[in-house]
Structure 1
Amino acid sequence: MIGSRVAVVGGGIGGLAAAAFLHRGGVRSVVFEQAAELTEVGAGLVLAPNAVRLLRRIGVMDRLVGRAVPLDVGWEFRRWEDGQVLSAEDLAESCQQLYGERTYTVHRADLAQAIASAVPPGSLRLGKRCTSVEVFADAALLSFADGTSAEADVVVGADGVHSTVRGAVTEPVPPTYSGVCAFRGIVPTDRAPGFARRRAQTLWIGPAHHLVHYPISGGAAINLVAFAPAGDYAVESWSATASGAEFLAEFTGWDPRLRELILGVGTPGRWALLDRAPLRGWSAGPVTLLGDAAHPMFPFFAQGAAQSIEDAAVLARCLARAPSSPADALRRYESLRIGRTTRLQEVSHARAHVNHLPDGPEQEARDAALAQADPLVANGWIYAYDAEDEEIPSV
């Protein structure tokens, strides 16, 4: 029986969402998070309808009123050199009409805090860095850096791209060099140029680079993330930084309006995008993976957090449906999720090439296609999906 011993390793968005959905389904869990406190780690993210509809069901969207920004315009592609708009989507009305929800942008910390409020008090243990997972026939033992340990009937590894739990379910496969790195930062709105203050998600695309910005924190700040050739840079960490001069130099020759936006960042973060092939499976006995631990993906479709939330919803339903057979429930969870997440990993990977085409006939063909495209409709397979509509077979 599952009882009260479901251990979720990792207190990020995916781990907290797992605990919240498990609680809603009547399954008790404990989240073990290595940080001593939940702080403002990370920056902004996009909440598309497939995530929003799930978050609304656990009360999270109500808690984000005033902090999440409903977008009026999305997937606004601009030409790198002069800012010419190549394509843009009306999200103020069309998104709601098509998918029953708006698209929002939000600071990662605001979202984590809101999801945490849907987790029962006492279910979050901070300062618990998992160092190993020992798996038995129908249980597992977690060991932590502080010398303590915990037994669990089910272990959910929501511990990110550098997952410790992943080693309990699959052989380690080293990531490969992608050749791309990302710069990120947050600009206070009063220091941002007017074009960046709109309720819009804008992507400037050009040779070997692209840059994305949108408002967060109720419009008080602008989230900025940009992608460039990595050179020999291979550090994959949220805490690594670059200089403002390095960031600015990558966009020399681009529309001069971007200079003001980039200078507003101060000290930007910088991390390498390392490439990981989709896993063939991520569950073994009483242990499974969720979110980036299972299916890390490039951020070019803005679906990383959304897929973690979808995972959480499906996992909770599977475990609630089969409380006496957790290993079977985890296999069903994996089978329901792996096809969709693999497809998103693959299309996100391919998007880097499309965004970074050099000037020339291929880029001109891309721009012409963007002008005629409707990504809001074309990506309906992403946004219309409801993770709680999945039929879960009986054990």
Structure 2
Amino acid sequence: MNLSEQKVCVIGAGIGGLTAALVLRQLGARVCVLEQAEAIKEVGAGLQISPNGLAVLRALGLDKHLEARAVQAQAVELRDYAAGRLVANLDLSLIKAGSPYHFVHRADLIDLLAQAVRAAGVKVLLLQKVDTVHPGANGERARVVMANGSEMRADLVVGGDGLHSRLRGVINGTIAPFFTRQVAWRATVPNTMGHGNLVQVHMGPHRHVVSYPLRGGTMVNLVAVQEQMGWAEEGWHHVDAPDNLRSAFADFGGDVPRIMAEVKEVGRWGLFRHPVAPRWHQDNCALLGDAAHPTLPFMAQGAVMAMEDAWVLGDAIQKADTIPEALTAYQSRREARVKRIVDTASGNAWKYHLANRPLRMAAHMGMRMATRFASQKLMGQFDWIYSHDVTKG
């Protein structure tokens, strides 16, 4: 299908929305991005861009731009919480995909994508709060209705508007998430502790701490997760007191005390499990990224899945005769993969949170042995994620 002169409206200027805007613009569409904030920006978070995500950026001509802003990862270290003793070292150079694994500040990736879409001629409209979307049946254009009553019509509407997507509700109705009884804190701090170019996961009873460097190794990204019965509000931007974070992980050793001593500002949010949307499209409207398949952060694939979605969406449109046909193919090509990743992420936390001491010691011994004698096999369990290249599909 030729997208030339087709008008596309992308809701949301996040990673998925901006990637989709660039993909569709490169296919010839006239693309407009609607963002409710007053500026395209993101603060306070790191991302891991695995080889499957880098493949999309490479196909868009942005891989070198990412590498200039990112830290190339060497390994993932799993450590015991008490003294920080090394349990397992996962060598990222053993990934069969053959491409590097990177750490990047979310704000840097957003800025990179925003510059690219604007340079490509995409219109980015700020302070545009979407109220609802009316999909266009029988060949009619879709209508995007703003909170102020104004409307925009488009041949294709892409909902990249995240967890609380307006378009998701239109297509699927309301599907309530459930609290996983886990809360997470996140912060970025100066790298005063000499954190290497790797992920450290300190694993303790009912808790774990993840850390890795950003921005040339000058900063460290921190994510700390704790199981708790009490409900906590969802969303990244709820502020907490740093002392609450330090108190929850006061018995952790290794680099954790030094990292947490540097925390001046920290966000805290409840982790909720959202089902993958049953329907990703209706008529000439489609969902991608968190709007279609929100995931818990335990596989570091949320942003990468959104970029994969954007590429496959564009490819499906190219190969189809009509937009509805393309959107059906798009969901068919993506659904099984993202469900598997979402389920894997949901089941991952317990491995880090073993509370029974004999069980934890036995599990850690098994990981040490696997690292020593079967490191290639250990890394091979992730081939289905990292070696997948949607740009060759």
TM bucket normalised to smaller: over 0.9
Partner of 2:111: 113
1:177-196 to structure 2, matched below 5 A, reads 177-189=179-191, 192-194=192-194
Determine if contact 2:84/2:254 at 8 Å carries over to the other structure: no
Q: How far does residue 143 in structure 1 lie from its aligned partner after superposition?
A: 1.1
Write the distance in 1 (CA, Å) between the matches of 2:358 and 2:276.
32
Tell me the SS of whatever aligns to 1:162.
Answer: coil
Determine if contact 2:81/2:254 at 8 Å carries over to the other structure: no
Q: How far does residue 112 in structure 1 lie from its aligned partner after superposition?
A: 1.0
Write the distance in 1 (CA, Å) between the matches of 2:298 and 2:98.
23
Query: Where does structure 1 lack aligned partners over 5 or more consecutive residues?
Result: 391-395
Determine if contact 1:180/1:229 at 8 Å carries over to the other structure: yes
1:206 paired with 2:209, answer no
Superposition TM-score, scaled by structure 2 size = 0.93
Q: How far does residue 310 in structure 1 lie from its aligned partner after superposition?
A: 0.4
Q: How far does residue 220 in structure 1 lie from its aligned partner after superposition?
A: 1.7
1:135-154 to structure 2, matched below 5 A, reads 135-137=135-137, 138=139, 139-154=141-156
Write the distance in 2 (CA, Å) between the matches of 1:80 and 1:285.
51
Write the distance in 2 (CA, Å) between the matches of 1:243 and 1:167.
34
Whichever residue aligns with residue 341 of structure 2, its letter is: L
Q: How far does residue 124 in structure 1 lie from its aligned partner after superposition?
A: 1.4
Write the distance in 1 (CA, Å) between the matches of 2:177 and 2:109.
28
1:257-268 to structure 2, matched below 5 A, reads 257-268=255-266
Whichever residue aligns with residue 41 of structure 1, its letter is: V
Write the distance in 2 (CA, Å) between the matches of 1:25 and 1:88.
42
Partner of 1:382: 385
One of 56, 59, 68 as aligned partner of 1:57: 59
Q: How far does residue 42 in structure 1 lie from its aligned partner after superposition?
A: 4.3
**Per-residue displacement from partner, 1:205-245 (whole Å, max 9, x unpaired)?**
11110100001112221111110124424211222111011
Write the distance in 1 (CA, Å) between the matches of 2:228 and 2:114.
35
Determine if contact 1:142/1:150 at 8 Å carries over to the other structure: yes
Tell me the SS of whatever aligns to 1:314.
Answer: helix
Write the distance in 2 (CA, Å) between the matches of 1:165 and 1:247.
35
Q: How far does residue 122 in structure 1 lie from its aligned partner after superposition?
A: 4.2
**Per-residue displacement from partner, 1:117-146 (whole Å, max 9, x unpaired)?**
221234211111111111231331111124
Partner of 2:305: 307
**Per-residue displacement from partner, 1:6-25 (whole Å, max 9, x unpaired)?**
11111000000001111223
Determine if contact 2:165/2:291 at 8 Å carries over to the other structure: yes
1:370 paired with 2:363, answer no
Whichever residue aligns with residue 88 of structure 1, its letter is: N
Partner of 1:393: none
Tell me the SS of whatever aligns to 1:201.
Answer: strand
1:173 paired with 2:171, answer no
Partner of 2:23: 21
Whichever residue aligns with residue 87 of structure 2, its letter is: L
Determine if contact 2:33/2:122 at 8 Å carries over to the other structure: no
Write the distance in 1 (CA, Å) between the matches of 2:63 and 2:256.
32
Whichever residue aligns with residue 26 of structure 1, its letter is: G
Tell me the SS of whatever aligns to 1:234.
Answer: coil
Tell me the matched-pair count.
381
Aligned-residue identity in percent: 34
Tell me the SS of whatever aligns to 1:102.
Answer: coil
Determine if contact 1:105/1:214 at 8 Å carries over to the other structure: yes
Write the distance in 2 (CA, Å) between the matches of 1:367 and 1:26.
53
Q: How far does residue 313 in structure 1 lie from its aligned partner after superposition?
A: 0.5
Residue 312 to residue 42, structure 1, CA distance change in 2 (3 Å): farther
Determine if contact 2:188/2:222 at 8 Å carries over to the other structure: yes
1:241 paired with 2:239, answer yes
Deviates more, 1:140-149 or 1:289-298: 140-149
Tell me the SS of whatever aligns to 2:264.
Answer: coil
Determine if contact 2:59/2:391 at 8 Å carries over to the other structure: no
Write the distance in 2 (CA, Å) between the matches of 1:42 and 1:321.
39
Determine if contact 1:168/1:287 at 8 Å carries over to the other structure: no
Write the distance in 2 (CA, Å) between the matches of 1:270 and 1:231.
15
Determine if contact 2:7/2:29 at 8 Å carries over to the other structure: no
Residue 22 to residue 42, structure 1, CA distance change in 2 (3 Å): farther
Determine if contact 1:202/1:214 at 8 Å carries over to the other structure: yes
Determine if contact 2:282/2:324 at 8 Å carries over to the other structure: yes
Whichever residue aligns with residue 21 of structure 1, its letter is: V
Partner of 1:30: 32
Q: How far does residue 256 in structure 1 lie from its aligned partner after superposition?
A: 5.9
Write the distance in 2 (CA, Å) between the matches of 1:333 and 1:343.
16
Tell me the SS of whatever aligns to 2:116.
Answer: coil
One of 70, 73, 79 as aligned partner of 2:72: 70
Tell me the SS of whatever aligns to 1:161.
Answer: coil
RMSD between aligned residues = 1.6
Whichever residue aligns with residue 124 of structure 2, its letter is: L
Residue 348 to residue 18, structure 1, CA distance change in 2 (3 Å): same
Determine if contact 1:58/1:118 at 8 Å carries over to the other structure: no
Write the distance in 2 (CA, Å) between the matches of 1:334 and 1:64.
28
Tell me the SS of whatever aligns to 1:169.
Answer: helix
- Runs of at least 4 residues of structure 1 off by over 4 A? none
Write the distance in 2 (CA, Å) between the matches of 1:103 and 1:354.
23
Whichever residue aligns with residue 388 of structure 1, its letter is: T
**Per-residue displacement from partner, 1:265-315 (whole Å, max 9, x unpaired)?**
212111111111223321121111100010001111110011001000000
One of 6, 9, 22 as aligned partner of 1:7: 9
Determine if contact 2:42/2:110 at 8 Å carries over to the other structure: no
Write the distance in 1 (CA, Å) between the matches of 2:348 and 2:222.
19
